[in-house]
Amino acid sequence: MGYFDKYAPLSQRNANGTVTGILIDSIELVGRACGVQFEHSAFPWVRAQMMVERGDLDGFCTVRTRTRLLYAEFCKSPILRVDFGVFHRSDDLRPLSVRSVEDLRVLRQGTYRGNGYARQNLEYDRMEIENDEESVLRRIARGTLDSSVEGDVVTPLKIKALGLTGKIRFTPLPFLPKAEFCFGVRKSLPEASRIVASMEAATQASRRSGALQAVLAKHRRSLTGSA
């Protein structure tokens, strides 16, 4: 399995080389339920996707997009759902009036390379592309970009790490679809369809029992420091 190496708390490669995060814990939970074992690695996100496509890695857990569906087979049920909105300077009130993707055109929008959600759901050709999300956030704080559409789980940690707390705020955009992170494997993997079917059944069962939701809740508590 391949993951984004700098996507805490969903996935991150630690100093000792281990890979941890919500996606890893969730995949392990579902895999145990259906007898599938995993080895987890993390890389820059564009590279990780290319490695799955060319067969150096077997699978990932990410948003299904038209491009990824060309070379990978995915479960239909998501491992994780994430709410999306816009991150912007705290003193810029224009995003509060955004009610559609078209409304975002008044803002200078940025994103990072490999962002499948932006390609699938937003006007990607109107965006300025940076190598990583940290660069996008720094530019928003400096005023050379106005906004970045992202989920409410990962980006707040990056804002804190960059020392930009209070300078950049999050405004939910309910009209945007949730990001659904689904288990997927390359189509060239032997028994890919069987593996996906097993993981799909186990994902549904884990969601019905509340086990997957408990993984997310546990991580949220650890981030906020609550009991």
Model confidence pLDDT, tens digit, residues 161-192: 999 999 999 999 999 999 999 999 999 999 99
Task: Kindly state whether residues 33 and 74 are assigned to the same domain.
Answer: yes
Judged against a pLDDT cut of 90, whether residue 222 lies above it is answered with no
Task: Kindly state whether residues 63 and 35 are assigned to the same domain.
Answer: yes
Task: Kindly state whether residues 27 and 88 are assigned to the same domain.
Answer: no
Task: Kindly state whether residues 94 and 47 are assigned to the same domain.
Answer: no
> What is the dihedral sign for C-alpha 110, 116, 121, 126?
positive
Q: Sorting pLDDT into bands at 50, 70 and 90, what band is 225?
A: low
In degrees, to the nearest 5, what angle opens at C-alpha 201 toward C-alphas 152 and 37?
Answer: 80
What would the pLDDT profile of 90-100 be if each residue is shown by its tens digit? 999 999 999 99
Task: Kindly state whether residues 164 and 95 are assigned to the same domain.
Answer: yes
Task: Kindly state whether residues 6 and 65 are assigned to the same domain.
Answer: yes
Q: For residues 142, 146, 149 and 154, what is the CA-based torsion angle, rounded to 10 degrees?
A: 20
- Number of domains comprising the chain: 2
Q: Sorting pLDDT into bands at 50, 70 and 90, what band is 227?
A: very low
What would the pLDDT profile of 7-50 be if each residue is shown by its tens digit? 999 999 999 999 999 999 999 999 999 999 999 999 999 999 99
What would the pLDDT profile of 76-89 be if each residue is shown by its tens digit? 999 999 999 999 99
> What is the dihedral sign for C-alpha 157, 160, 164, 168?
positive
Residue 47 burial by Cβ neighbours in a 10 Å radius (0-12, 13-18, 19+): middle
Judged against a pLDDT cut of 80, whether residue 111 lies above it is answered with yes
Report the alpha-carbon distance of residue 119 to residue 99 in Å, rounded. 19
Judged against a pLDDT cut of 60, whether residue 127 lies above it is answered with yes
Q: What is the pLDDT of residue 224?
A: 60
Report the alpha-carbon distance of residue 57 to residue 60 in Å, rounded. 8
Q: Sorting pLDDT into bands at 50, 70 and 90, what band is 221?
A: confident
**Containing domain of residue 47, as a range?**
2-80+179-224
Give the whole-number percent of the chain exceeding pLDDT 70: 98
Task: Kindly state whether residues 100 and 163 are assigned to the same domain.
Answer: yes
Instruction: Round the CA-based radius of gyration of the chain to a whole number and report it.
Output: 18
Q: Are 46 and 119 in contact (CB under 8 A)?
A: no
Task: Kindly state whether residues 127 and 162 are assigned to the same domain.
Answer: yes
Distance of CA 51 to the CA centre of its chain: 18
CA distances from 201 to 36, 75, 196, 212 (A): 12, 9, 9, 13
What is the domain-level CATH number for residue 162? 3.40.190.10
Q: What global pTM score does this model have?
A: 0.83
Task: Kindly state whether residues 186 and 168 are assigned to the same domain.
Answer: no
Q: What is the DSSP letter of 125?
A: G
Task: Kindly state whether residues 209 and 142 are assigned to the same domain.
Answer: no
